[in-house]
């Protein structure tokens, strides 16, 4: 068994697609119209046939209170692995990405947290070793 698809709830799919592709560097995989929304997935440019991330519309009534509570408490919704947190922090900051946590090392793990502009905090991390 392997993880094929995971999702992140986004307030605006078009805005999310732009952020996740143009800022983060993911590649668009699926874009299928479904009424007012889309089945919209992206994947890592380094592993384009790997796990897909569904940019899921935040339409369900439970989503906004859940996301708002996570953001208010500073809790990231998901985490992406990077080779160098400091370098990625600098690259993304130069592109205008707003970080809520600068790179911090905790034992063997270095993390940073940014706002994805679509209602989520996202953590980037690297584990030494």
> Which pTM does this prediction carry?
0.95
Bridge partners (DSSP) listed for residue 59: none
Torsion 128-70-45-25 (CA) sign: negative
Q: Each residue's pLDDT tens digit in the chain (129 positions)?
A: 999 999 999 999 999 999 999 999 999 999 999 999 999 999 999 999 999 999 999 999 999 999 999 999 999 999 999 999 999 999 999 999 999 999 999 999 999 999 999 999 999 999 997
Cα gap 119→23, rounded to integer Å:
16
What pLDDT, on a 0 to 100 scale, did the predictor assign at position 49? Answer: 95
What pLDDT, on a 0 to 100 scale, did the predictor assign at position 91? Answer: 98
Instruction: Assign domain 5-127 to its CATH architecture.
Output: Roll (3.10)
Q: Residue ranges per domain, the chain?
A: 5-127
What pLDDT, on a 0 to 100 scale, did the predictor assign at position 81? Answer: 97
What pLDDT, on a 0 to 100 scale, did the predictor assign at position 129? Answer: 78
């Amino acid at each position: 068994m392997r993880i094929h698809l995971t999702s992140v709830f986004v307030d605006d799919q078009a805005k999310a697609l732009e952020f996740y592709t143009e800022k983060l560097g993911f590649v668009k995989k699926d874009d299928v119209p479904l009424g007012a929304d889309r089945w919209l997935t992206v994947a890592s440019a380094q592993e384009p046939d790997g796990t897909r991330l569904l940019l899921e519309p935040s339409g369900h009534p439970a989503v906004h209170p859940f996301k708002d509570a996570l953001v208010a408490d500073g809790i990231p919704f998901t985490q992406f692995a990077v080779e160098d947190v400091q370098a990625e922090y600098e690259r993304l900051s130069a592109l205008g990405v707003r970080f809520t946590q600068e790179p911090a090392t905790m034992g063997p793990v270095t993390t940073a947290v940014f706002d994805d502009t679509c209602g989520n905090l996202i953590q980037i991390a690297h584990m030494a070793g």
